[in-house]
Amino acid sequence: MRNHSPRKEKHERSSNGHLNKDRVVTGKELDQLEELNIKLDTLVGLLSEKGVVSKREYTSNVMMRLHEMSKAKSFEDLDEEL
Instruction: Note whether residue 76 is domain-resident.
Output: yes
User: What pLDDT, on the 0 to 100 scale, is given for residue 17?
Assistant: 54
Number of folded domains that form the chain: 1
**Which residues in the chain come in under a pLDDT of 70?**
1-25
Residue 32 belongs to a domain: no
Which residues have CB under 8 Å from 14's CB, separation 6+?
A: 20
Do the domain assignments include residue 80? yes
Tell me, what's the pLDDT at 42? 95
Range of the domain at 80: 54-82
Task: Provide the pLDDT for residue 81.
Answer: 82
Residue 77 resides in a domain: yes
The model's pTM is: 0.56
Amino acid 39: pLDDT: 94
Among candidates 28, 37, 42, 35, which has minimal Cα distance to 14?
35
Residue 46 covered by a domain: no
Q: Looking at residue 9, what is its pLDDT?
A: 40
Domain membership of residue 58 (yes or no) is yes
**How many Å apart are CA 19 and CA 13, to the nearest integer?**
5
- How far, in Å, CA of 12 to CA of 4, rounded? 25
Residue 78 lies in a domain: yes
